[in-house]
């Protein structure tokens, strides 16, 4: 089990290396990459905005109960924004994107694999990694990064709206304490996580689709594996990124 998992991880890293090498020369395919990014954004923007908004709103609800116990309601905005930007927002929105973008991509690539389109590309003189994987891989990274950032922005608005309507905190007070807690480093931390999570989603979902072997059942298995492995990898990546970033701030 452990050996098989390590073998799988090794294969995944080798795949990532191959994709990154191929991606280096992908500037001439920028229009296709832009199109893929745009497609992913169009497919997921509404869901991400919706989810982001409610993440902020839920966080406000939860923190309201806590800070009221200590008569520290004026810190609500700072706490909600800090927790959302640094931790909860990127992770929850990445989960959502892994289900939406990741499942779509792994199913699409898996179907191309079992219907012999990938083999046909090789036989017709091209490299499927360069032709098929790289545009999707970079498209997902660019789009996920944009969507995660956009989701975080809306989580801020969700938190603000909930604070003014439910918690009874004027918006000026909600905003006033944010600069004290949410530093440039907090925002950088959120941005770095958005990038890392985008990379995780793009890598696992394209890999799972590309390595499907068999028929329709195996495509289904590949999609399920992509979804579950991406979520586990996101949690691990979150812990690892936090560990590194907190380490940096303490240096």
Cβ at position 51, least distance to another protein in Å: 29
Cβ at position 210, least distance to another protein in Å: 14
Nearer to another protein, 67 or 219 (CB): 219
Cβ at position 127, least distance to another protein in Å: 8
Nearer to another protein, 116 or 246 (CB): 116
HSE toward the beta carbon, residue 17, CA cutoff 13 A: 6
Nearer to another protein, 119 or 246 (CB): 119
Nearer to another protein, 87 or 131 (CB): 131
Cβ at position 108, least distance to another protein in Å: 9
Nearer to another protein, 87 or 221 (CB): 221
Q: Give Cα 230 to chain centroid, integer Å.
A: 10
Q: For the chain, what is the HEC assignment?
A: CHHHHHHHHHHHHHHHHHHHHHHHCCHHHHHHHHHHHHHHHHHHHHHHHHHHHHHHHHHHHHHHHHHHHCCCHHHHHHHHHHHHHHHHHHHHHHHHHHHHHHHHHHHHHHHHHHCCHHHHHHHCCCCHHHHHHHHHHHHHHHHHHHHHHHHHHHHHHHHHHHHHHCCCCCHHHHHHCHHHHCCHHHHHHHHHHHHHHHHHHHHHHHHHHHCCCCCHHHHHHHHHHHHHHHHHHHHHHHHHHHHHHHHHHHC
Cβ at position 239, least distance to another protein in Å: 35
Cβ at position 115, least distance to another protein in Å: 5
Nearer to another protein, 100 or 130 (CB): 130
Contact residues for another protein, defined by CB under 8 A:
115-117, 119-127
């Amino acid at each position: 089990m452990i050996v098989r998992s390590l073998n799988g991880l090794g294969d995944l890293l080798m795949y990532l290396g191959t994709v990154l090498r191929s991606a280096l020369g992908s500037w001439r395919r920028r229009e296709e990459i832009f199109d893929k990014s745009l497609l992913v954004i169009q497919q997921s923007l509404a869901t991400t905005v919706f989810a982001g908004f409610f993440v902020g709103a839920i966080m406000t609800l939860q923190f309201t109960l806590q800070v009221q116990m200590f008569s520290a309601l004026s810190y609500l905005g700072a706490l909600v924004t800090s927790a959302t930007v640094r931790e909860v927002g990127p992770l929850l929105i990445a989960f959502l994107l892994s289900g939406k973008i990741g499942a779509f991509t792994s199913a699409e690539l898996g179907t191309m694999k079992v219907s012999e389109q990938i083999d046909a590309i090789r036989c017709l003189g091209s490299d499927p990694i360069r032709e098929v994987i790289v545009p999707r891989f970079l498209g997902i990274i660019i789009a996920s990064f944009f969507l995660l950032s956009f989701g975080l922005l809306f989580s801020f608005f969700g938190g603000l709206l909930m604070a003014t309507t439910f918690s009874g905190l004027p918006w000026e007070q909600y905003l006033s304490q944010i600069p004290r807690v949410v530093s440039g480093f907090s925002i950088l931390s959120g941005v770095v996580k958005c990038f890392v999570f985008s990379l995780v989603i793009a890598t696992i979902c394209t890999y799972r689709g590309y390595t499907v072997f068999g028929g329709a059942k195996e495509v289904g298995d590949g999609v399920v594996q992509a979804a579950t492995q991406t979520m586990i990898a996101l949690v691990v990546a979150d812990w690892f990124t936090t560990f590194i970033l907190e380490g940096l701030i303490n240096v």
